[in-house]
């Protein structure tokens, strides 16, 4: 019995391989898109990011990194007035009183959202920073327990 089980498995695998190979040959492939490589396209220059950081809400407190956005690949959602972009801002976000509320978490990283176009993800509005705030119960957010 022990000898026969591997042979049966081999026979099943061989017949599956023949079936899948024949199926693959019969398929006609129609490309959905035709990607092409182009030269790099800059959609947000360092100067534009500095200007956006100067008007970010709440204000940027990191004097070493400034407005470190995007620090991750951009997420994009189609919105009625264009596109909403979101990505990490890798800068340090000091606790600060802003518009009557404490914001920032004394840690690096936050989520920054902007509304713009595919050619201008910074748009004309102010970038909105959403820091992960401290919580009294450290079990609520294990990533930032303090």
Instruction: List the beta bridge partners of residue 96.
Output: 103
Q: How confident is the model over 38-72, as pLDDT tens digits?
A: 898 888 888 988 898 888 888 888 888 888 888 88
What are the residues whose beta carbons fall under 8 Å from the beta carbon of 40, sequence distance 6 or more? none
Provide the 10 A C-beta neighbour count for residue 91: 24
Mean pLDDT of the chain: 78
CA 74 vs CA 59, 111, 114: distances in Å: 21, 11, 10
Angle at 53 between CA 47 and CA 57, to 5 degrees: 155
The pTM for the full model equals 0.61
Q: How confident is the model over 68-94, as pLDDT tens digits?
A: 888 888 899 998 878 999 988 888 888
Angle at 123 between CA 63 and CA 81, to 5 degrees: 140
Q: What is the residue extent of each domain of the chain?
A: 46-130
In this predicted structure, what is the pLDDT of residue 18? Answer: 55
Cis ω for the linkage preceding 70 (within 30 of 0): yes
In this predicted structure, what is the pLDDT of residue 53? Answer: 87
In this predicted structure, what is the pLDDT of residue 1? Answer: 47
What percent of the chain is predicted at pLDDT more than 70? 73
């Amino acid at each position: 019995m022990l000898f026969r089980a591997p042979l049966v498995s081999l026979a099943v695998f061989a017949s599956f391989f023949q079936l899948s190979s024949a199926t693959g040959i019969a398929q006609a492939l129609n490309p959905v898109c035709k990607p092409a490589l182009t030269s790099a396209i800059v959609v947000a220059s360092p100067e534009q990011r500095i200007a956006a950081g100067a008007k970010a809400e709440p204000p940027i407190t990191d004097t070493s990194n400034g407005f470190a956005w995007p620090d991750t690949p951009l997420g994009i959602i189609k919105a009625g007035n264009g596109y909403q972009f979101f990505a990490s801002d890798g800068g340090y976000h000091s606790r600060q009183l802003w518009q009557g509320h404490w914001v920032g978490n004394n840690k690096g990283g936050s989520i920054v959202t902007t509304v713009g176009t595919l050619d201008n993800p910074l748009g004309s509005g102010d970038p909105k920073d959403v820091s992960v705030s401290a919580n009294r119960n450290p079990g609520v957010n294990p990533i930032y327990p303090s």
